[in-house]
């Protein structure tokens, strides 16, 4: 199977470019779906703190905002107004940021899909990038984690001259967003890794890149292994949460000597963590069972028997039928 684009996990129509490229994703996801895309605007205007007229916002940070658009035409400026300043660290260029948002079309008053809707997802991206709409990457720069932002985006900072007809956005429409700057998670689990029994795969993962996994010569265990290698300090992951993870995956095939196993997939190659709703059947059963209840910030070694992976279905030359899967998963955030 092919990698599902990150856009398909959040709000597809908001994507201008794919957040993740192609690549095999057979270790995690159960299906694949396309992502909507559009052309980048040629130039994004510099944001200002306020303009006349301005929308008003009701509601608490961390919940869906109620946006009231004033009568009259928007200023045409790209406005980023801090409604509430957070107390967390300042967002810097290229930080991986997790946000949630509410949106509305200025002219029509039509609501856009929101992170706070029943099936909504957080929006993750690199600060300063234009991989989502430019309005997202630009608006969070220099803002503190925990902030709520009121953003008015002209077409150049939003959907561009093509608009987004599926959402009822015309080529000249200004969009109003309320963006909650939720988290800037660490790149990986931090701490001293616990010793691993000799009959389980050995793991080296002390850098910001894919793990090295060495498979022992004995037969794999018959039951799911979900060993915590680094205990995180965050809250426990709950079923139904959107979880952000860095992972490396290999098949259990006993090695000759001490050679590292070949990885069939890893999130590090995409430049940002993988996200999914956990405990909801979005990924293979071994991930759902092995990661719910673990703490954010943890590194977990998963050894998944075929019955909780792909059973007797081959997933390409690197994953034959009845494969036992091995994953090293760093849980960096949960929303």
Asked whether residue 142 is domain-assigned, the answer is yes
- Give residue 118's pLDDT: 81
Residues 179 and 44 in one domain: yes
- Give residue 83's pLDDT: 97
- Give residue 28's pLDDT: 52
**Distances 200 to 156, 196, 226, 291 between C-alpha atoms, Å:** 53, 7, 11, 18
Number of structural domains in the chain = 2
Per residue of the chain (335 residues), what is the pLDDT tens digit?
Answer: 222 222 332 334 454 322 222 334 444 544 322 233 344 445 888 999 999 999 999 999 999 999 999 999 999 999 999 999 999 999 999 999 999 999 999 999 999 999 999 878 899 999 999 888 899 999 999 999 999 999 999 999 999 999 999 999 999 999 999 999 999 999 999 999 999 999 999 999 988 999 999 999 999 999 999 999 999 999 999 999 999 999 999 999 876 556 889 999 999 998 789 999 999 999 999 999 999 999 999 999 999 999 999 999 988 888 899 999 999 999 999 99
Running DSSP on this structure, what letter comes out for residue 169?
B
Asked whether residue 2 is domain-assigned, the answer is no
Show the 3-state SS of the chain: CECCCHHHHCCHHHCCCCCCCCCECCCCECCCCCCCCCCCCCCCCCCECCCCCCCEEECCCCCCCEEECCCCCCCCCCEEEEEECCCCCECCCCCEEEEEEEEEECCCCCEECCCCCCCCCCEEEECCCCCCCHHHHHHCCCCECCCEEEEEECHHHCCHHHCEHHHCECCCCCEEEEEEEEECCCCCCCCCCCCCCCCCCEEECCCCCCCEEECCCCCCCCCCEEEEEECCCCCECCCCCEEEEEEEEEECCCCCCCCCCCEEEEHHHHCCCEEEECCCCCECHHHHHHHCCCECCCEEEEEECHHHCCCCCCCCCCCCCCCCEEEEEEEEEEC
Residues 107 and 72 in one domain: yes
Residues 164 and 208 in one domain: no
Residues 244 and 118 in one domain: no
Residues 74 and 123 in one domain: yes
- Give residue 6's pLDDT: 28
Residues 278 and 309 in one domain: yes
- Give residue 84's pLDDT: 97
- Give residue 164's pLDDT: 92
Residues 51 and 107 in one domain: yes
Query: Looking at residue 123, which CATH number applies to its domain?
Result: 3.10.50.40
Asked whether residue 91 is domain-assigned, the answer is yes
The domain boundary, picked from 116, 150, 183, lies at: 183
Residue 310 token pair = 């792909």
Residues 234 and 144 in one domain: no
Whole-prediction pTM: 0.81
Residue 103 token pair = 């949106």
Residues 163 and 236 in one domain: no
Residues 233 and 293 in one domain: yes
Asked whether residue 32 is domain-assigned, the answer is no
What is the chain's Cα-based Rg? Answer: 22
Asked whether residue 148 is domain-assigned, the answer is yes
What span, in angstroms and rounded, lies between the C-alpha atoms of 319 and 252? 9
Asked whether residue 219 is domain-assigned, the answer is yes
Asked whether residue 14 is domain-assigned, the answer is no
Query: How do 175-183 and 202-204 pair as beta strands?
Result: unpaired
Q: Which domain holds residue 252?
A: 202-334
């Amino acid at each position: 199977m092919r990698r599902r684009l990150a856009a398909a996990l959040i709000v597809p129509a908001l994507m201008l470019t794919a957040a993740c490229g192609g690549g095999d994703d057979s270790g995690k996801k159960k299906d694949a779906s396309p992502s909507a895309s559009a052309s980048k605007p040629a130039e994004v205007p510099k944001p200002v703190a306020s303009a006349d007229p301005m929308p008003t916002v009701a509601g608490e940070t961390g919940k869906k905002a109620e946006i009231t658009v004033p009568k009259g035409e928007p200023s045409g400026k790209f406005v980023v107004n801090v409604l509430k300043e957070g107390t967390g660290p300042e967002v810097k260029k290229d930080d991986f940021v997790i946000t949630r948002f509410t949106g509305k079309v200025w002219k029509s008053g039509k609501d856009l899909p929101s992170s706070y809707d029943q099936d909504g997802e957080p929006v993750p991206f690199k600060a300063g990038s234009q991989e989502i709409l430019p309005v997202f990457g630009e608006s969070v720069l220099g803002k503190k984690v925990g902030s709520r932002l009121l953003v008015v985006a002209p077409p150049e900072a939003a959907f561009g001259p093509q608009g987004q007809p599926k959402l009822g956005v015309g080529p000249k429409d200004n969009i109003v967003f309320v963006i909650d700057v939720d988290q800037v998670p660490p790149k990986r689990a931090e701490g001293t890794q616990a010793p691993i029994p000799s009959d389980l795969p050995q793991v080296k993962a002390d850098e910001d890149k894919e793990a090295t996994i060495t498979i022992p010569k004995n037969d794999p265990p018959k039951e799911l292994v979900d060993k915590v290698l680094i205990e995180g300090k965050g809250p426990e992951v709950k079923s139904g949460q959107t979880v952000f993870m860095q992972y490396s995956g290999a098949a259990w095939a006993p090695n000759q000597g001490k050679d590292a196993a070949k990885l069939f997939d890893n999130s590090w190659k995409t430049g940002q963590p993988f996200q999914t709703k956990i405990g909801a059947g979005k990924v293979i059963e071994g991930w759902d069972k092995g990661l719910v209840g673990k703490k954010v910030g943890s590194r977990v070694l998963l050894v998944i028997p075929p019955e909780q992976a792909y059973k007797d279905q081959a997933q390409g030359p690197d994953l034959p039928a009845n494969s036992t899967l091995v994953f090293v998963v760093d849980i960096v955030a949960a929303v």
